Amino acid sequence: MYSLAVIGWGYYLRISESGDGCGTDWPLCEGSFVPIRASLPTWVEYLHRLSSGTVLLLVLGMAIWALRTLGRDHPIARAATWSLVFTVTESMFGALLVVSGWVAGDFSAGRILIRPFQVTNTFLLMAALGLTAWWASRNVQEWTASPHERGVQMLRAGLLLIFLAATGSWTGLAGTAFPVESLSEGLGQYLGAEHLLIYLRTLHPIVAVWAAIIIVRVGLEYRRQGASETERRLAVAMISLVATQLILGSVTILLLHPAGLRLLHLIAADLLWLNVVFLWSSSREGDGTRPAQTDSPPRGSAQTQPEAALP
């Protein structure tokens, strides 16, 4: 939860255009470890760096503990290790953006190109952290990468969500760089658009509708034919989050991208992504995982033959 809160603070940092609060200094802030008499954007950026550094230390400790306690081949240890890898790369993305000046109102080609990669890394980080907690709570001991029809469906849905998030990063950047005061002004920007971003922002709503149709269809299949009660509940939650996102996205556009709605839209996107990751994991668990302890048949039981296969 703390990591998700830090990611959410990063969203606020970007929406409030506070990314240049510490200038182009990194890891220092305006040339010092602690800014003095700083403005609000500086404190927003500085607190984000402090909280991100805390995440790095916590994830490092978690990975070391998992590797030493469970062994490197354990699925929870692997998820914790990947959490550390993506935490480090997330920090590297942040440093690159600051040093290069690709923050706040900048909409240079470099920032446009790097945004989808940064969003993808953030989503992979959330997936790794989420799976670490998910597998630990379910006491998963083994994992197999063998093909599974439902797992493949959810993998495709996950890839589609990453693509949707990438286009959303361009939409958010366009809203920051080219704000409008009315819907008619926004539509008028497409007549002789002054920048490529204005055209790129049209991709997000198109991909959103496409993704919603596919994900809802998969969710309905799980709801009807889910192998477990957990899968059926996750499917219902996934459908609800898709509907919520469509409403939030539409209202955000109609109200000309207010900061609060943009932040809520991004947080809901994270929850939807984690829901898809958990449903993907749950569908695979039935194919290749088992709990750490299994109940043995009672002595004297009529069950004398071993089971043909584990579930």
> Could you give the residue range(s) of every CATH 1.20.120 domain in the chain?
144-289
pLDDT tens series, the chain, 311 aa: 788 899 999 899 988 888 888 888 888 887 788 888 778 888 999 999 999 999 999 999 999 999 999 999 999 999 999 999 999 999 999 999 999 989 888 888 999 999 999 999 999 999 999 999 999 998 888 766 555 677 788 888 899 999 999 999 999 888 888 888 888 888 888 887 788 888 899 999 999 999 999 999 999 988 887 668 888 899 999 999 999 999 999 999 999 989 999 999 999 999 999 999 998 888 766 444 444 443 444 444 444 333 333 33
Which residues fall within 8 angstroms of residue 125, CB to CB, at 6 or more apart? 3, 7, 83, 86, 87, 89, 90
Give the Cα-Cα-Cα angle 119, 121, 125 (nearest 5 degrees): 115
Alpha helices, H only, the chain: 2-15, 40-70, 75-100, 109-138, 149-177, 183-188, 196-200, 203-225, 229-254, 259-288
Question: What global pTM score does this model have?
Answer: 0.86
CATH class of this structure's domain 144-289: mainly alpha
Q: Quick one: which of 200, 165, 176, 10 has its CA closest to 93? A: 10
Task: Give the contacts of 21 (CB within 8 A, at least 6 positions apart).
Answer: 13, 29, 38, 39, 41, 42, 43, 44, 45, 46
